Structure 1
Amino acid sequence: MALEAGTIIKHGWMFMVANVVNRAAGLLLLPLYAKVLSPAEFGVYALISVVGDIVAVMLMIGMINAFTVVYFEHADDRGRRRVVSTTMIGLWVASLALLAVALPAGWGASELLFGGTGQAPIIAFAFVGIAFSAVFELALAYYRVHKRSGTCLLISVGKAVGLIGLNLSFLLVMDLGVTGIFLANAITFVGLGIALTVAILGANGVGFSFGLLRRVTVLGLPFMPQTMLDMGNQFAMRYLVNLLMGVAAVGVLSFGLRLATLLYMFLTASFLQIWSVSRIEAQHDRGGDGTAGRDQSEFVFYLFVVLLSAAALGMALTAPEVLWLIASSDYDTVLPCMPLLVLAYVVHGVRMHAEVGLVKTKKVGVLPAISLGGLAMGTLIMGVTLGPLGLMGGAIGVLGRELVMLLATEALCRRLSPAEPPLSALRVTGVLAPAAIAYLAGLALFGFAVEPSFTAAKLGLTMLFAVAALFGPSFGKADRAMLFRMLVRFLRRPQAA
């Protein structure tokens, strides 16, 4: 009964470790950025980063998501190898095209964002890093479909070492500021992109099919406007804050978002890497027990919601300690925004339940409309609230956008993919309600004070929430029995070895 769930958790755990290492550079370098960069410089970094994210979406045209689907459409090894090489070659052509226009595009982006061309070289470095990071991400997708979590971990270690070493050299030793950040990214991803391409094409051969590339592109194109609109929301938020409050306010709010985004980078992304692949793969597996596999998959998803909510609660409660440790007091104004920002990323994780269902059933054409609605609502809310509420208005806009997208995605999944299991509002509420109570209790008891005893109490409150959620209405006796069996098997494995 617990075999499918155990497989998801086993590889999901390894991919989570790989993803943690993959994102470790961002986590470890965040204190460096917060100490070395002023809020205004952090705002420049954030604005260039979000422009880079938009360019990355245009470059990849949804290839990473489409690659997994098209790969599993081919049952034979020869067909799958051809999918790999075709997608890799197609992405390289797009990456080289971006390199050719990096500097002139940097001039235009610098003029738009900052009213001059002074930041053009920095933006050009950012585009170089983006071009090769796309190749890097496709390589990781290739190893994920093969469930080679150990290889993903090794690659992630190489990326983290390169980024950390170069950032320390460029920021602390050479004092290059924001330029050093994007230069370090470019050098690291160029090296990794070339090395991984050689390894993957060496294992799969060099083959190309215009038909396969067209299939990957057609299936991936709906992801492009969706993701571009998601990035557009990030750009609109930062641009509005820049217009109404200045670039320093962009830096403060972006710092809070960077902390909250760790929930996605370390938990949601890691979980989806194996959970989504397992759901898509199960669609092509006609020999298994579909009902049992679905039940186990649902159990694992709601277990993930508990873990994500516990991490969000802990981050919101300990935000004062985190800022005291890694940032200057200039960033303290983001503290009241943190509970809304982390809740937004919990809602984002919950939304993936329906979104994966739409991807699995190839109903991805509706995703851009969902993102457009989220962009419109998020921008409207921020436009109304930024003036009277300041940074809190930006946080409210981020959360409002995610709530709108969650409701729209779930409604469309139920309508267009009725065979997919619906999201249980009762089970989600059974997790989020005690988390909200725990946060309000912690805020009333400890406020934003930084004391060792308070920190220990906050961690205890977070653990108490996790226990309450697991023994609450979101999980039945059968769920807890399955969890207990998996834990026992996991603990006994080293002894058996």
Structure 2
Amino acid sequence: MAKGSVVYGIGGVLQRFLSLLLLPFFTRVLSPQEYGVVALVGLVAMALSGLFSLGTGSSMSILYFECDTRSERHKVVWSTAALLTVNCIVLLAVLVAAAPYISHVVFETTEYANLLRIAFTSTMIVVVLEPFYAFLRLEGKAARFVTLSVVGAVAGALISIVLVLVLGWGIQGLLLASLFAQILSATLVAVTVAPHLMFGITTRFFVPLVRIGFPSIFGVFAFFVIDYLDRQMLQRMIGLDAVGVYSVGYNLGLVMLIAVSAFGMAWPPFFTSFIKRQEEAKLLFGKILNYYLIVFGGLAALFFVAAKPLVTMLAPDFVTAGQIIGLVAAAYMLKGAYLIILPGIYFAKKLHWQSAVEWIAAIANIGLNLLLIPVFGIVGAAVATLVSYALMTTLAWMVARHYLAVQYHWRQIATAVGGLGVTCGWVSWASMQFSFSGLAIHSLLALSVLFFVFGFYVLDRSERNALTAQVIQLVQRS
């Protein structure tokens, strides 16, 4: 699982690096208002992605591992792709016709209908390709998955340079570049992945694919509320300029999602393999949560440290965006912890409980945004996201423990969370009080305290000894 996470992480870093590389150029030719439009178009497409996918992202992996033969597993992949293709074509036809009405609801004008049509088409291609990408993850073919993803990202970056910076097509060029990149990805999948799957479509998989996965569609809408509705609320309460600044800071904080997504890609095949070894899972999954908090909690703390210098260097006209970078990173760190707690719900095929938990957190997010945005602006929106993911993780544990009684180590967990809170608060205070030199000193002290807490109060002696032995072996090999 760790090796797979590293490979997925490398691919994610390369893709995010391309985005960061282009950010200073795009922010000079696109206004905060235009960034706000792009963010809201993406928001609508994300909101509808669940209807495109029918929740098969969750159900396909369950059915895949329930099959014992290679041919049956390949039929699960092809059957999922066939079901999604039909569904996506019908839904896209409806959305293309309804685009002016959707544009009027979101933007109070029909001006952006064509941008929505482009985004809907890109979403359709992404969803239809997902079963083939999922097959690569389930079979542990992380390198091939990453290669295809990076090629698509590089192609999208190059096309966006031509369309936005050379031809001056603005935000329409950004969205078209994404669409052309997805078309290229579809071609690559058809050539490199599909021929290695034994073809076969079995209609008997259609019903369980939808029955098991469909409840998770509602969870997709809940994540839409938590991750994207704050932009709509910022637009209505403050204005599109605030949405643009928030989107820049949010996107920088989303670099954390590279690591979380890498773990999220490796985690489902790993935990699903324990579906017939649940007694072993009860011991192992608790330890995994400890290690996750150490690694990803440390990464989240680094985002608080780097926020001010990063936004000053990459987007000096959006300097206030630095206030939310660490908060966003911490929120998505908690999203990964939430994923670790879910296996019991998946083993029991009770995905409706997953959706219920996510919707409770989403409703809480709406209330928090209404309370915090008028007072704290974009910082209030970021805090609402962080608190929502904390609530989601807590509620998921309360439900999942009834299906899989994982032995969590609560003292170590509380120590890790407390150390993270103190460290991030310390660095946030220092970033407001000091220049870069003073911030660097305080950050170094705060991180030193955090890693001392992790090393001596979260890890036990045997784990420290094992880690030390691993480091010595690596040094000797090098």
Is structure 2 residue 220 aligned with structure 1 residue 233? no
Match of 2:307 among 295, 305, 319: 319
Query: Partners of 1:384 and 1:446 in 2: how far apart?
Result: 25
Matches within 5 A, 1:51-200: 51-200=44-193
Please list every run of 5 or more consecutive structure 2 residues that lacks an aligned counterpart in the other structure: none
**Residues 63 and 216 in structure 1, CA contact (< 8 A), matched pair in contact too:** yes
**Residues 338 and 392 in structure 2, CA contact (< 8 A), matched pair in contact too:** yes
Query: Partners of 1:66 and 1:30 in 2: how far apart?
Result: 37
In structure 1, the partner of 2:451 is 467
CA apart distance, 1:65: 2.1
**Residues 370 and 408 in structure 1, CA contact (< 8 A), matched pair in contact too:** yes
CA apart distance, 1:104: 1.9
Query: Partners of 1:461 and 1:426 in 2: how far apart?
Result: 24
CA apart distance, 1:147: 0.5
Is structure 2 residue 465 aligned with structure 1 residue 481? yes
**Residues 310 and 462 in structure 1, CA contact (< 8 A), matched pair in contact too:** no
In structure 1, the partner of 2:266 is 274
**Residues 252 and 334 in structure 1, CA contact (< 8 A), matched pair in contact too:** yes
- TM-score w.r.t. length of structure 1: 0.89
Match of 2:287 among 283, 292, 299: 299
Query: Partners of 1:62 and 1:490 in 2: how far apart?
Result: 42
Query: Partners of 1:32 and 1:134 in 2: how far apart?
Result: 30
CA apart distance, 1:207: 1.3
Aligned residues: 478
Query: Partners of 1:356 and 1:279 in 2: how far apart?
Result: 7
**Residues 102 and 128 in structure 1, CA contact (< 8 A), matched pair in contact too:** no
Match of 1:310 among 294, 298, 319: 298
**Residues 423 and 447 in structure 2, CA contact (< 8 A), matched pair in contact too:** no
Range moving further from structure 2, 215-224 or 29-38: 29-38
In structure 2, the partner of 1:394 is 381
Query: Partners of 2:364 and 2:274 in 1: how far apart?
Result: 35
Deviations 1:186-230 (A, max 9, x none): 001012123314543322233111111221121111211111121
Query: Partners of 2:364 and 2:327 in 1: how far apart?
Result: 16
Query: Partners of 2:450 and 2:347 in 1: how far apart?
Result: 30
Is structure 2 residue 4 aligned with structure 1 residue 16? no
Matches within 5 A, 1:423-434: 423-434=408-419
Please list every run of 5 or more consecutive structure 1 residues that lacks an aligned counterpart in the other structure: 1-7
CA apart distance, 1:148: 0.9
Question: Relative to 1, partners in 2 of residues 1:405 and 1:296: Cα closer, same or farther, differing over 3 Å?
Answer: closer
In structure 2, the partner of 1:5 is none
- TM-score w.r.t. length of structure 2: 0.92
What SS does the corresponding residue of 1:183 show, helix, strand or coil? helix
Match of 2:202 among 206, 209, 214: 209
What SS does the corresponding residue of 1:472 show, helix, strand or coil? helix
**Residues 33 and 42 in structure 1, CA contact (< 8 A), matched pair in contact too:** no
What SS does the corresponding residue of 1:471 show, helix, strand or coil? helix
In structure 2, the partner of 1:4 is none
Query: Partners of 1:74 and 1:446 in 2: how far apart?
Result: 54
The amino acid across from 1:316 in the alignment is F
Deviations 1:377-417 (A, max 9, x none): 11111112222322232123212222221221111112x31
**Residues 32 and 244 in structure 2, CA contact (< 8 A), matched pair in contact too:** yes
The amino acid across from 2:159 in the alignment is L
Query: How large is the RMSD of aligned CA atoms in angstroms?
Result: 2.5
